[in-house]
Structure 1
């Protein structure tokens, strides 16, 4: 199933973008690790899904994971749904339990620590959730920067996403992957700095 999902992700991504990946060697081939990436658009997870030669468990807003067209796809991709504690404390806590379980099993988990898609192209402040994860499982953290999705049909540039026609197809998209950070000493501010540094490359 993972191979099938990666194929769909790769085909979708490369039909829309010319993708260049830098630093792919920094993604561990085995063992638990946490990927932290900036959140630019509604297709960030689909773009990153084909990044590794192993399954990646994505933590995703519950409302997105339940979209009728994509619900089946996300379920088989092992997506972990999350929402704010104000919306549903049970779902919020269950998400952290599932993340903890996945990391304990040696899986690769990807989160978007901003907690929401950027509305101005800048990285939002990383939320405390990433530190909660690492307090339970101080696994290596791999910073990832998505460059080129801001201004796309799937981003919030010039208003709401999906409301403006794409200016062009097959535009350049760059994914920069940095060296892993020791999870035992990683703070959200440090991780945000690492991601922003990768964006600035």
Structure 2
């Protein structure tokens, strides 16, 4: 009986949280349609991203905002859940442009929202598209744009940190922009890849010290990737799935 009550309460919370999310998305869309400037649209979205968690009773604790420089930078974060993008929209300054997988172009409502807040798409599978998008990111970085990138490129229900894709690190190397390793904890427990209703929980976002690539400190793209990944893994508290991925390729 107690188990059934717990399941019922969890389901009620899940439905409530999804309802809150949909209402906030609807209100965000209204602002995104009518607000005239990118800055205003991003501030509007940030307000409703925060509102999702406030009204759902999900606590988001953020540490390390002081590590984000006033100049441009690249946030590289782990990816564990559908809600990670909402989390970063809620906690990061609005100067950050989110880099999103190109498959989201096929989702009409999401595509509209992402474009109106200035998001950039990257191709993950077609080599020609990948190189084209990489050049665009490097130019954006060189032009002073700050980027937010989920370095794994995807997420699964299995806990752990997957191998990192190179895009963020090549962009940082070519543009000489600092990388800010960022750790998201707790989001997988709230809404994992195999779930449709969120659960109760708390979220922690830890913004780590910058990793620099400039005239006095030379690092290759691979070195930048490995340093950032090591820092995130150290603070994440989840297994390293890089070895498993390598074994699967060998097999």
Q: What's the TM-score bracket when you normalise by the shorter of the two chains? A: 0.7 to 0.9
Count of matched residue pairs: 190
* Residue of structure 1 in register with 2:151 after alignment: 113
CA contact (8 A) 1:80 1:98 kept: no
| Residue 65 (structure 1) shift | 4.5
Q: Say whether 1:142 aligns with 2:180.
A: yes
Moved over 6 A (4+): none
Q: Which residue of 116, 123, 133 corresponds with 2:161?
A: 123
CA contact (8 A) 2:46 2:94 kept: no
* Residue of structure 1 in register with 2:139 after alignment: 101
**Partner deviation per Cα, 1:55-89 (whole Å, 9 max, x = no partner):** 211111112244223222111121111122x4x33
Mapped to 2, the partners of 1:167 and 1:42 lie a distance apart of 13
* Residue of structure 1 in register with 2:21 after alignment: none
| Residue 109 (structure 1) shift | 0.3
CA contact (8 A) 2:77 2:181 kept: yes
The 5 A counterparts of 1:64-83 are 64-83=104-123
Unpaired stretches in structure 2, ≥5 consecutive residues: 1-40, 239-251
Mapped to 2, the partners of 1:128 and 1:105 lie a distance apart of 20
* Residue of structure 1 in register with 2:198 after alignment: 166
| Residue 148 (structure 1) shift | 0.6
Q: Say whether 1:199 aligns with 2:236.
A: yes
Report the RMSD for the aligned CA atoms in angstroms: 2.1
* Residue of structure 2 in register with 1:52 after alignment: 92
Pair member with larger Rg:
2
Mapped to 1, the partners of 2:151 and 2:199 lie a distance apart of 29
- After TM superposition, the score normalised by the length of structure 1 is 0.84
* 188-197 or 10-19, larger mean C-alpha shift: 10-19
CA contact (8 A) 2:157 2:188 kept: no
Q: Whose RCO is larger (CA < 8 A, sep 6+)?
A: 1
Secondary structure in 1 matching 2:108: coil
Q: Which residue of 56, 63, 69 corresponds with 1:28?
A: 69
Q: 1:91 to 1:110 in 2, by over 3 A?
A: same
**Partner deviation per Cα, 1:23-72 (whole Å, 9 max, x = no partner):** 1111122x221110001112212210132333211111112244223222
| Residue 145 (structure 1) shift | 0.3
Unpaired stretches in structure 1, ≥5 consecutive residues: none
Mapped to 1, the partners of 2:49 and 2:63 lie a distance apart of 18
CA contact (8 A) 1:27 1:52 kept: no
Mapped to 2, the partners of 1:53 and 1:129 lie a distance apart of 22
Structure with more helix by fraction: 2
Structure with more strand by fraction: 1
